[in-house]
Amino acid sequence: MGDCNSDDFRTYTSATSFVDDRRFSKHVHDNVHGNIYLDRLSLKFIDTEQFQRLRDLKQLGLTYMVYPGAVHSRFEHSLGVYWLASDAVNRLRTCQGRELGIESFDVQTVKLAGLLHDVGHGPFSHMFEREFLPRVRDGLKWSHEDMSLKMIDYIVDEHGIDIDSDCLKKVKEMIVASEEGNSVSSKEKQFLYDIVANGRNGIDVDKFDYIERDTRACGLGCNFQFQRLLETMRVMDNEICYRAKEYLTIHKLFSTRADLHRTVYMHPKVKAIELMVVDALIKANDHLQIASYIDEPAQYWMLDDTIVKRIETSTDQELEESRNLIRRIRRRDIYQFCNEFAVPKEKLEHFKNVTAQDIACSQNSDAHLNEEDVIVTNVKIDLASGRNNPLERISFFQDYDSFEKFPIKDDRISHLLPACYQDMIVRVYTRKSELVEAVSEAFENFQLKTYGKKTQVHATPEKKKRLKY
């Protein structure tokens, strides 16, 4: 295979992809990627009430309560993933199209997978499926990816969208590829399944978009450049591989994602507000039957972030407790974060989630804590592969005139790279501000009992202990 000459690629995109498609496409201007061109089939999905619902789902859930700029939605993220998926598959088609047999059918399928991958998300994104549903539908195995598949079928049927059945099947397979996590597959053109939701090694355009979009929205810097990976990728043995010189670029992808989890997605105050909204939704569930919406796509598309405003402005007596919780959030009277500790590295392998009961049972004899006064969150932050190094699952090549792929070990690149790839942080909150001191002391007692020492960084500030509302 010849080198993917950048001049040739610019000629292709401007002369073939853009000019031909402009006659049949619509363009919108995105604040991250610039002009995005939407093809006719994709527009048939976009111009439905089910897809437009994504405008009312904030990409980062309740993060905007701490980072005011984080008000972007799943709608623009979906357009961004569509565009990057289009860019990625067209680059491969330009460089290796004949060799790989990439056809227009493949390009369309990958683009639709990028566009529709999040159409099954619930209110406030991951909070709905990870925090709310497990508490009201115990034992239910439910994911937004699976709901995306049902929503796609519903949109096609409801709006009579004329789409090839094989294309539709492959779109849905690509959306759940990361859930399946199969590195070896009998699927034809398996490399196409690595573009949107990569279960093989975690490098995909979904991450490219949300890392760039989320850091901008929160006013944070981002030193990860996804363009370098798009420009240097190459398919070898049915797998997307990357030039060896981009090893540190890929490491920045995973480390930036972990930083976002620590400083933004899992911010202590963001989680405190999420805990309050979850409590409000649980208290409102019997009256509003919120959880029942997941049973049918025809109902599910009507559920979005506006459920909180619906509760807040309702005059129903049955929603009074939920309404009061939401008003507490508005007035910044939120659940109090007491303290946290990082689980020692040597204890990670056999770590068991800490519970509110564990903390309540560790209280001092003169305290009067009830289990329902305490909330414990066990926050796992990793580089996308648990306690393993994600870069060990990636194949590299030396240069464009080489035909051999190979793995690379961290110690061959730098001794400054991490030796551990996962953090487990245990946080404790209280629903009542007057109990901060008692909960904090119980939390310290639990650490002493479990590890023989206090593993938190510092004591809970005295002013927080004295906080009264």
3-state secondary structure the chain: CCCCCHHHHHHHHHHHHHHHHHCCCEEEEECCCEEEEECHHHHHHHCCHHHHHHHHCECCHHHHHCCCCCCCEHHHHHHHHHHHHHHHHHHHHHHHHHHHCCCHHHHHHHHHHHHHCCCCCCCCCHHHHHHHHHHHCCCCCCCHHHHHHHHHHHHHHHHCCCCCHHHHHHHHHHHCHHHHCCCCCCCCCHHHHHCCCCCCCCCCHHHHHHHHHHHHHCCCCCCCCHHHHHHHCEEECCEEEEEHHHHHHHHHHHHHHHHHHHHHHCCHHHHHHHHHHHHHHHHHHHHHCHHHHHHCHHHHCCCCCCHHHHHHHCCCHHHHHHHHHHHHHHCCCCCEEEEEEECCHHHCCCCCCCCHHHHHCCCCCCCCCCHHHEEEEEEEEECCCCCCCHHHHCCEECCCCCCCEECCCHHHCCCCCCCCCEEEEEEEEECCHHHHHHHHHHHHHHHHHHHCCCCECCCCCHHHHCCCC
Q: For residue 311, what are the contacts with CB-CB under 8 A and spacing of at least 6?
A: 280, 284, 288, 319, 322, 323, 326
pLDDT of residue 387: 82
69 close to 23: Cβ distance less than 8 angstroms: no
pLDDT of residue 420: 85
Measured between alpha carbons, how far is residue 98 from residues 14, 102, 193, 350 in Å? 20, 7, 19, 50
The torsion region of residue 56 among left (phi > 0), alpha (psi -120 to 50) and beta comes to alpha
Question: 167: closest CA among 294, 296, 39?
Answer: 39
144-159 vs 165-175: helix crossing angle, rounded to 10: 160
Q: Which residues pair with 336 in a beta bridge?
A: 430
pLDDT of residue 108: 96
pLDDT of residue 16: 40
104-116 vs 74-100: helix crossing angle, rounded to 10: 160
CATH class of the domain comprising 22-268: mainly alpha
66 close to 95: Cβ distance less than 8 angstroms: no
pLDDT mean by block of 10 residues, the chain; 469 residues: 42 39 81 95 97 98 97 98 97 93 96 98 94 91 94 98 96 87 63 95 96 96 92 95 94 95 96 98 97 96 97 97 98 96 93 96 90 96 86 92 87 76 95 94 96 94 74
Q: For residue 294, what are the contacts with CB-CB under 8 A and spacing of at least 6?
A: 122, 133, 137, 142, 147, 300
Question: 42: closest CA among 110, 107, 111?
Answer: 111
pLDDT of residue 388: 85
pLDDT of residue 403: 86
Question: 377: closest CA among 347, 352, 354?
Answer: 354
pLDDT of residue 10: 39
26 close to 38: Cβ distance less than 8 angstroms: yes
pLDDT of residue 7: 41
pLDDT of residue 9: 39
Cα 73 to Cα 182: distance, rounded to the nearest angstrom: 30
Kindly give the pairing relationship between strand 234-236 and strand 239-243: antiparallel
Tell me the fold of 335-383+418-468: Alpha-Beta Plaits (3.30.70)
Question: 202: closest CA among 219, 185, 177?
Answer: 177
Q: In 230-260, which positions are buried (b, 16+ CB within 10 angstroms) versus exposed (e)?
A: eebbbbbebbbbbbbebbebbbbbbbbbbbb
Domain map (residue ranges) of the chain:
22-268, 335-383+418-468
Q: Which residues pair with 456 in a beta bridge?
A: 341
Catalytically annotated residues? 144
pLDDT of residue 25: 81
Measured between alpha carbons, how far is residue 173 from residues 56, 145, 194 in Å? 26, 10, 11
Cα 6 to Cα 4: distance, rounded to the nearest angstrom: 6
